[in-house]
């Protein structure tokens, strides 16, 4: 299918492959499904499309519940994600889009004037219901009910947007765009800057302050969400700020103190005689990560990473195993 371009890489939503898909047969063609439309519909409704497990964060030890798609539906979700990436999105969105990242997200605030407020949406994916996803395809993409039903079933688990689907990052935005557009308009009317990275909301401006934390929480609750009020941050205009993992002050970027501390701890371990290859590879990654964030020491840190990497054996590609990776535990069905 050839679509008219609106820009070099993006199309207007009305030119999207999903816009006004008339039938399940058309959906099967768009998703590159080789079976029959009825088989596709049956597949989307299967209860065993996802496996559920807990993944433990390496640094914090916090457990996160993951719903990962099986090998049959994952290619369909990947295809959906590819097509979603082709649709024009607002400048404020920085997640799930090529050439945008947590760094471009934080850069908007590093270059903006005023105080900064950061707020996380609490349990974002689990709060996006199947009904909200259905309405996205029914009302926004204007698909008939059976097509919208199939799409909602394809990406949801137990009535909620699955956390491990390749398409969930962009679907979470599209399913909640009305809410985020409302925030964007309010901030723009105040002459401020708004950005979104998955569930991280950040606003900067000369009129921004503590009242905006309460306002953001009220907006989220109006749409059926909530904010992590205890984690909300208000950074004064002249103070150091942290937005999506990047620290900055007066327009100069650096890594957060926590990352520097972790790097120094790894350096100490590497200097010890018992340091293994895994520890050294970890330090290489830390040096490169901080090197990308630190404007003043970036070159020297990247050079240090390159020097250390040259002393390490080449990495071997791991064989796929039926067992779960380290830090992951299954959820037992009861």
Q: Is 70 exceeded by the pLDDT of residue 39? A: yes
Task: For residue 326, tell me if it sits in a domain.
Answer: no
Rg, the chain, Cα only? 22
14 and 140 housed in the same domain = yes
Task: For residue 328, tell me if it sits in a domain.
Answer: no
66 and 155 housed in the same domain = yes
Tally of CA atoms within 13 A in the half-sphere of 159 that contains its CB: 1
Of 1, 87, 83, 80, which is closest to residue 44 (Cα–Cα)?
80
Q: Is 50 exceeded by the pLDDT of residue 3? A: no
pLDDT at 249: 92
The Cα–Cα gap between 120 and 242 comes to 13
**If you average pLDDT over residues 235-258, what whole number do you get?**
92
Between the alpha carbon of residue 202 and those of residues 59, 84, 146, 232, 264, the distances in Å are: 24, 24, 37, 10, 29
Tally Cβ neighbours within 10 Å of residue 228.
Answer: 13
Q: Across all residues in the chain, what is the average pLDDT?
A: 90
Task: For residue 323, tell me if it sits in a domain.
Answer: no
Lowest mean pLDDT among 162-171, 213-222, 249-258: 249-258
Over the stretch 165-187, which tens digit does the pLDDT of each residue have? 999 999 999 999 999 999 999 99
81 and 197 housed in the same domain = no
Task: For residue 329, tell me if it sits in a domain.
Answer: no
Task: For residue 250, tell me if it sits in a domain.
Answer: no
The pLDDT > 90 percentage for the chain reads 73
Name the β-bridge partners of 194: 203
Please state the domain count of the chain.
3
**158/270: higher pLDDT:** 158
The Cα–Cα gap between 307 and 312 comes to 9
Q: Is 70 exceeded by the pLDDT of residue 44? A: yes
Domain of residue 156, residue span: 8-86+129-175
150 and 71 housed in the same domain = yes
Sequence-separated (6 or more) residues with CB below 8 Å from residue 133: 151, 152, 155, 156, 161, 171, 175
* Token pair of 312 as six digits: 């390490």
pTM of the model: 0.84
Strand order in the sheet with 193-197: 193-197, 200-205, 115-120, 233-235
Report whether 125 contacts 225 (CB < 8 A): no
Tally of CA atoms within 13 A in the half-sphere of 103 that contains its CB: 13
């Amino acid at each position: 299918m050839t679509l008219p371009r609106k820009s070099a890489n993006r199309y207007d939503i009305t030119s999207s492959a999903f816009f006004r898909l008339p039938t399940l047969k058309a959906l099967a063609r768009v998703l590159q499904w080789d079976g029959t439309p009825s088989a596709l519909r049956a597949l989307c409704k299967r209860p065993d499309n996802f496996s559920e497990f807990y993944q433990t964060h390496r640094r914090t030890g916090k457990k996160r519940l993951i719903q990962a798609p099986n090998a049959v539906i994952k290619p369909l979700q990947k295809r959906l994600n590819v097509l979603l990436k082709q649709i024009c999105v607002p400048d404020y969105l920085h997640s799930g889009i090529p050439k945008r990242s947590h760094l471009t997200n934080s850069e908007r605030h590093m270059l903006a004037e005023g105080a900064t407020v950061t707020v996380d949406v609490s349990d974002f994916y689990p709060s996006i219901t199947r009904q909200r996803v259905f309405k996205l395809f029914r009302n926004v993409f204007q698909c008939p009910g059976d097509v919208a039903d199939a799409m909602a079933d394809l990406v949801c688990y137990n009535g909620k947007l699955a956390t491990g689907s390749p398409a969930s990052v962009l679907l979470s935005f599209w399913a909640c765009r009305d809410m985020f557009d409302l925030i964007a308009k309010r901030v723009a009317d105040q002459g401020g800057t708004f950005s979104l990275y998955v569930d991280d909301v950040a606003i900067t401006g000369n009129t921004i302050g503590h009242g905006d934390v309460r306002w953001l929480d009220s907006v989220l609750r109006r749409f059926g969400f909530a904010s992590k009020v205890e984690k909300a941050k208000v950074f004064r205009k002249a103070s150091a700020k942290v937005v999506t993992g990047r620290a900055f002050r007066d327009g100069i970027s650096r890594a957060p103190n926590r990352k520097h501390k972790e790097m120094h701890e790894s350096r100490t371990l590497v200097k010890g005689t018992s340091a293994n290859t895994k520890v050294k590879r970890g330090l290489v990654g830390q040096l490169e990560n901080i090197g990308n964030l630190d404007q003043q020491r970036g070159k020297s840190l990247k050079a240090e990473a390159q020097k250390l990497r040259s002393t390490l054996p080449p990495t071997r590609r791991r064989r796929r195993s039926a067992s779960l990776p380290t830090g992951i535990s299954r959820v037992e069905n009861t």
